[in-house]
Structure 1
């Protein structure tokens, strides 16, 4: 659940903030109202790019009721400041840069007073700044994806784990689908891949001998096997 953090100011009222994947997102309506926009919803719609806003279910003040709320990224925040022609924008930016952003800063550029003054006074600088911020975010996401891939290289998975990734009800359902596609079959109550797939490094099968002499087999799916199964489902819905 996204925990809402509230920032209050006597002149500008309150601005709500939540963390989305460790990035600060602000309630667009709060920011637009603080900046003096006559129509906050329209201001967010016209000034903030689609990639810089999203909709979350947030709890309302003093209740457990949740409603859909548009939140904007840091670059979306700058876009509203940049788009405002009101004097209150210059006052608001000081509050944001001196109190709000320093308290939540983890990634991204640091918006000093000089930076936002330049945004307000130099449209080209503002566009360049927002572009750099977006490029930085894209690069960071790509780096995180690569790190995630590396963590999967030597990891093995149960069919239950893969079924959850595919939003299936259970491993039983996934196993049946793979069997129907003639990718695997059952041997001694253990699912194994057919010969076309068995030598591709998709699975690891370990044998265990019980005290009573019975032999049972444990199958785990490798990262390559997981990728193969996920790809099958992607191709099926493409």
Structure 2
């Protein structure tokens, strides 16, 4: 069996493949369990990340979910039985052991007596400091952009949003359906109840060439950022950057 936990973005994590192996479950069943968790969207965004991986045997690309210790605890809370209890205990021990290891290597350089180890620790500290400064600059830039976008009153069709990621409207609608975000009523995609009243969409009436009218769903900028986070969890990035449609939204 592979290692139960690992370090990802300076957090102790595990993933859905490892959980499936440890608890003797099908991977698709674990993905379903994660999808069906009745947690807040904020908790989900902070503790579960969809990540692409290449299958060792068929070399095809699939999706797994990397989860934090809190995410793991929330997920396996519902797993019962003697065998499940045994693996819960193994996971707890693995998380604690990894935390102790992180604490040991994160000891400040000035507290290390061995000169060689002190020098190594100092170099590591400087590298981490540079990474933190770069990350802080990126977060500040993204925060400014998000604030600008959320203030924009413009809306977008799903076709326009999908194009930013090299997807078709059909493909994006399918992803949103798989994520439990929307369902089709007649010819219109509508949000499930949990996502209504969040300001993600607006309904517009479309008149076709024959004079017939039908409702059509448009996404607000808050909805567009919501979609961006969903696609990001799946490892799908915008073709250039999330900023690509600033001019489009402000021109509407």
TM-score of the two chains, using structure 2 as the length reference: 0.33
- Structure showing greater radius of gyration is 1
Structure with more relative contact order (C-alpha pairs < 8 Å, separation 6 or more) = 2
TM-score of the two chains, using structure 1 as the length reference: 0.35
